[in-house]
Structure 1
């Protein structure tokens, strides 16, 4: 687990233990190879694959995370619990499973903006964010967001002010991160359900604002 502030990498050399996530091994790698082969041979329509992936990205996992965020925005006691013991708080809402056993939620504020990455593979909190987007798993994002987070965030449409600290959190096989975005102004009377509808997967990764 590490944080990078304003692009300065926070790893502790050889002491940083970051094993390759087991989900990247075995069956997952075989499925990926088979998918690529079938697409290359014209046996599978890549648009059909994208539609299935989009369903899981937009309709399942991210809605779980959005419900967590909305509750944190409306329930101060839950927000405090979420920031102190993220795993227990998230599991109390019934959201748990593989790659969601050990969670840490980091909060965006007026002075700090957080973004998550997995620099060595693609560790990702599936239980609350669904399937990881392709760019999250790509080498370009994984390497660049650590070295030049402001530039990468700007490419996502976020121009982070110079006075705002940017913290990059590097997920590992042991712990997953999720961003608690800032609650938008003017939403004081919104119900938790309406608030949840505003929350996006990218907002919980830190590459978008809510």
Structure 2
């Protein structure tokens, strides 16, 4: 006689649905499929734009700015004084950088960026914001308990280091200049830029040492 185990069936059902895309992803895919079917968009063009924002217009731009700041003290001073003007030499001015402020991580200070009201973000130098940056949980908790949030990203800040939280708005957006790791003083800007991650420029990563990156 066949038996029915409700707990097992429920477990299987839950496991199957855990692997399904989120509702928002399914809606986006459905809309994209409809637009492609009607000939309104080209899938190859869509993929090219996403790739460009992710890899070129995205965090690689910000990484170049940080690498220049590490290599040239005069540029770092200019970046901290007026980030919007400083990045003009790269040709990176664009959406979200009109009121850009750079803040620097040091041995005594760690900076964390959040947008408590929405998801203001310097798109032209950091690309597409990660989903967690736009989540209600991050936006609320980053202000109330920044050390706990950083810990969940694997960043343990010693009590001797001050954590400063910067609330991004449409009038002011932020770029974190990560602390330069030891042992890379002779590296080229291109090599240094490879160390810089998107999360480090938001403040949810601190250690950029080459050994940690290799690991």
Q: Scaled by the length of structure 2, what TM-score is found?
A: 0.74
2:142 corresponds to: 145
1:37 to 16, 27, 46: 27
1:114 counterpart = 2:128:
no
Does the CA-based 8 Å contact 2:52-2:58 persist in structure 1?
A: no
User: Which range is displaced more, 55-64 or 177-186?
Assistant: 55-64
User: Among residues 180, 198, 201, which one is paired with 1:201 in the alignment?
Assistant: 198
How far is 1:55 from its partner?
5.7
Distance 2:52 2:124 in 1: 15
Q: Which 4+ stretches in 1 moved above 6 angstroms?
A: 48-52
Larger radius of gyration: 2
- 1:38/1:74 Cα in 2 relative to 1: closer, same or farther (>3 Å)? closer
Deviations 1:130-175 (A, max 9, x none): 1100000010100000000000000000000011000000011111
Q: Distance in 2 between matches of 1:100 and 1:70?
A: 18
Gaps of 5+ in 2: 1-22, 35-43, 209-215
CA distance 1:158–1:53, change in 2 (3 Å): farther
What is the total number of aligned residue pairs between the two structures? 175
TM-score (norm 1): 0.76
CA gap 1:153/1:55 in 2 versus in 1, 3 angstroms: farther
Which segment drifts farther, 93-102 or 119-128?
93-102
5+ long unaligned stretches in structure 1: 1-32
Q: Secondary structure at the match of 2:155?
A: coil
When the two chains are superposed, the root-mean-square deviation of aligned CA atoms in Å is: 2.6
Higher relative contact order structure (alpha carbons within 8 Å, sequence separation ≥ 6): 1
Instruction: Tell whether the 8 Å contact from 1:103 to 1:178 is kept in structure 2 after alignment.
Output: yes
